[in-house]
Chain A
């Protein structure tokens, strides 16, 4: 029991750090829970600004990013980070029918572009490939 906990702790400390940015509280909380349940560390933010002000972007191993955000949009944040040479893998999620946004995001180097509601497998597969790549 103790060993399991220690193993889990060690895994936690060494596991990748995933940042989730979504303005919808429900989505934010659910994705954070799912990512943690898969054994990753996860932190959630309601906007791009909150994320940029709260921590060093380069500490993130992956970003799960909503396309539509109040203030700086997900797509803009993607370009902003790229311009600063922060090569962080990004998985986009969106509730809208937004083909244009998808094309643009993928062209700019996104790992995956997921439409809400998305399946557990789709997200975790994308996450896995992002961390691996």
Chain B
């Protein structure tokens, strides 16, 4: 029981703190009150018979658990009989216990469930039944509690049922034990009487048949055997009290060994505390009546413990029946029984002590009229009355006069009597007249006949709890305020994530802090690194005058500056009493008396600025307010930091974008696993896409690549992916407008923990470069064409045309002149004009001839020593674009130590170019083998240098090998057949030789020799 209540109290104090404390507490309190009522019953049950106990138990359960009925079957271990009882709620139909028991029979067996639903025996429908087994193994019987209430049995119901059942079981056990004890005593008495009778008979027999000695001896042996083997203490002493015989069991009971010498006097067997009683009380009675029976404590000879004994003392008389021979005793060790009784007493005592000891509760009993009949220590403590002062007095004296005037005390008694219990809360009076808020439970106590015998009252002072509840409410209000502040803070931080504008956010923080502190004015100042001064970036409630003044105050002297420099918050409760603020009078004149400045720091601890709030009254913010101010300030600092780093980032992003724009290089990132593409602005510009649409998918991006180039790009990409390698490619893209651009793309793999995560790359618009390259190539080809055109034959035609025109004009003009002068009337004006034109055109013709002469002269004089290798390399450069365009592979075979040659570098280059271009042309039809051109130069045995150009083209028919060098012989559709002719002339003019051979493999080789510097000088 103690444990149970302990638990309840613990739960109680724990629940006090939780939000649902009132409801749960009420519930728990009800439960506890019921438990205490059960304890009260347990005390009442003491000494009652099982039937009475069960009857009150059932009544209690019906009332307490608001049952429809309660049923019990319980047995009597003595005669094995079984009793059944049923109790119904008030107003319920009376039930037959045997019938109810019959209905419940299936559920009582063995390990059946402890709760179930069965047909309602007192009406229609079903009823929930909870079963409680009395005793550990149901040996005491069972109780069934039936109720139609929904949710029955609840956990509380079950708990109460079980506790009540346990209490009843204990009571039943006690009752049983008591009965057993009584029976045992009766049996012992009977036994002793029987023995006495037997002894007497034996005595008589001895006396009768003394003569028959053998018979007598046999009887003696029987007696001895009986005595010796008995479990009781059997002893015989002389009339003067000297022990003569103690049986074996007796010796054992008092701790004496077998055969040990017996004490001198029987008094030594008696425990010291009972010896006086033995001498003064027991012996005289024995002397007087001849026998004595009663409890007396023996002494254990070894441990010195007292042994409670149920003792029979009598005299052994002579056979004749009169003369006393000896004293005898048959005593039974009743330690076990005594122990049981002690336990019972202890338990009762404990319960009493517990009730008395409960100091927090006033527990007292009233009689049916409402007069106090018992009073515990808690009641004394709570109400101030001692037991003597209050016993027998009417309990209405605990009520306030107002309540007494309204007859509340009587009404509560009536209510409790009618309903079984009443719970109230209200003001009660102490002895000293002070009031306390009491929580009261009054339970009606009825005897087994159902007659009202009184009330138990449980009163508790919950003034403190009421106070605590009020405080709790205050804490809740504070928490709600904190929650509002936190919510605002959260909103701010959420908005921080979304917003890019600092100013409105700072204003919002300022508003929040001002609302929090209930401030009248406020501002946010930021420290400007450049000017080293504080600048107000957000403010509330300040006029222009203050703002002007603020700009004049140096941060080293200003209060806010103090906050910033010291890194600590400054709080001025009253500027009038703060000496360092006298200079702030103009500001104070703005109408504030108190202020607080909270500094703002970035994460590395550098000052950013501060948030200050001002109050028109003297004011000091609470710790909580300051804590929240700090939170807001940190949020503001975070915003400023973020804003600044965003600006920085934006700046660097702008730089990057600008760089990309200038270099016409876009960048992109391709996430390999998600397939997501990121494009820079320039990338969008290159592809002529709107950045607002976001980057296209990879497949969409591929669609923008020129269809001819797409497979190549896809291959490059797949290869890069497969090998996770760097890759580069050029391709054409077709914008949505249809413009074609040439781009150079690089793709670089990026690994995350060893796994390919992304490709990062650039796209460069090289259209302009390509165009320039193409133009360059065209120029080169043009140059080559011009170079070729200037071969000698073509030169002649050109010269002819140039000279023919003025010559033709001169001739025609001359003819016209003659005609103008002929005839009857010569036209002199026309003739004069014609002659002027003749002079002009003649000069023009001579100019052409002079030009040609100078050309020829130059061609003839340009003999010099030059590096043939270098000259060949230059010529190849001229033809390279053409070779690339026409897919010709070039192979150069030249030793490093090729000697210098003497000649016309330009003419020899023209010959080289002529041979190379012929070779390229010869391979234009070739598609079934590589187009390969080998340009070789080497010194031969005769110290001449041989230069060869070998192609893999269509070759030359053997019969034509000589003809190709004839003028106007050509195999080309648009050729004039003069190139090789002029080339041979040039080579021969240099002292060399030019000829052609058919290759063993397809194609022909054209080669020429040139004398070296050494060979020509020889």
Residues of A within 8 A of B (CB): 1, 4, 24, 26-27, 29-31, 33-34, 36-38, 93, 95-97, 116-120, 123
Contacts and interface: CB of A to CB of B under 8 A. Distances in A.
A99 B830 CA distance: 35
Contact of A30 (B813, B820, B827): B813
Contact of A117 (B801, B807, B818, B824): B807
A116 B820 contact: no
A1 B830 CA distance: 18
A23 to B, nearest CB: 9
B917 interface: no
B812 interface: yes
Given A95-B801, A116-B805, A118-B808, A33 B833 contact: yes
Interface in B785-821: 797, 800-801, 804-813, 815-816, 818-820
Contacts of A4: 824-825
Contacts of A31: 812
B806 A26 contact: yes
A99 to B, nearest CB: 13
B815 A119 contact: yes
A26 B841 contact: yes
Nearest to A24: B805
Interface string B810-848: 111101101110001101001001100100110010000
Contacts of A38: 819
Nearest to B821: A37
A117 B812 contact: yes
A37 B801 contact: no
A1 to B, nearest CB: 8
Given A4-B824, A29-B837, A33-B830, A95 B797 contact: no
B811 A117 contact: yes
25 contacts: A1-B825, A4-B824, A4-B825, A26-B837, A27-B809, A30-B808, A30-B810, A30-B834, A33-B813, A33-B833, A33-B834, A34-B812, A36-B816, A38-B819, A95-B804, A95-B808, A96-B804, A116-B807, A117-B807, A117-B810, A117-B811, A119-B811, A120-B811, A120-B812, A123-B812
A26 B840 contact: yes
Given A27-B809, A31-B812, A37-B827, 18 more contacts: A4-B825, A26-B806, A27-B812, A29-B809, A30-B811, A30-B812, A33-B812, A33-B816, A33-B834, A34-B812, A95-B805, A96-B804, A97-B797, A116-B807, A116-B808, A117-B807, A120-B811, A120-B819
A119 B844 CA distance: 20
Contacts of B818: 120
Contacts of A120: 811-812, 815-816, 818-819
Contact of A27 (B797, B808, B820): B808
B808 A97 contact: no
Given A96-B797, A120-B815, A30 B837 contact: yes
A4 B824 CA distance: 9
B795 to A, nearest CB: 14
Contacts of A119: 811, 815
A106 to B, nearest CB: 20
Give the one of A1, A24, A26, A119 with max B CB within 10 A. A26
Contacts of A37: 816, 819-820, 827, 830
Contacts of A30: 808-813, 816, 834, 837, 841
Contacts of B841: 26, 30
Give the one of B808, B811, B844 with max A CB within 10 A. B808
Contacts of A29: 809, 813, 837
A26 B809 contact: yes
B835 to A, nearest CB: 11
Give the one of A4, A116, A119 with max B CB within 10 A. A116
Contacts of A93: 808
B908 to A, nearest CB: 29
A117 B815 contact: no
Interface of B: 797, 800-801, 804-813, 815-816, 818-820, 824-825, 827, 830, 833-834, 837, 840-841, 844
A31 B841 CA distance: 13
Nearest to A25: B809
A33 to B, nearest CB: 4
Contacts of B825: 1, 4
Contacts of B840: 26
A95 B845 CA distance: 13
Contacts of B816: 30, 33-34, 36-37, 120
Give the one of A33, A95, A116 with max B CB within 10 A. A33
Contacts of B827: 37
A81 B96 CA distance: 140
Contacts of B804: 95-96, 116-117
A26 B830 contact: no
B942 to A, nearest CB: 43
A127 to B, nearest CB: 13
A38 B806 CA distance: 22
Contacts of A1: 825
Contacts of B834: 30, 33
A43 to B, nearest CB: 16
A21 to B, nearest CB: 15
Contact of A96 (B801, B807, B809): B801
Contacts of B808: 26-27, 30, 93, 95, 116-118
Nearest to B806: A26
A10 to B, nearest CB: 15
Contact of B805 (A27, A33, A34, A118): A27
A113 B806 CA distance: 19
B526 to A, nearest CB: 75
Give the one of B800, B813, B825 with max A CB within 10 A. B813
Contacts of B819: 34, 37-38, 120
A90 to B, nearest CB: 18
A116 B805 CA distance: 7
Nearest to A37: B819
Nearest to A123: B812
A120 B651 CA distance: 83
A27 B840 CA distance: 12
Give the one of A31, A37, A97 with max B CB within 10 A. A37
A92 to B, nearest CB: 13
B809 A97 contact: no
A117 B807 CA distance: 6
A29 B391 CA distance: 161
B735 to A, nearest CB: 35
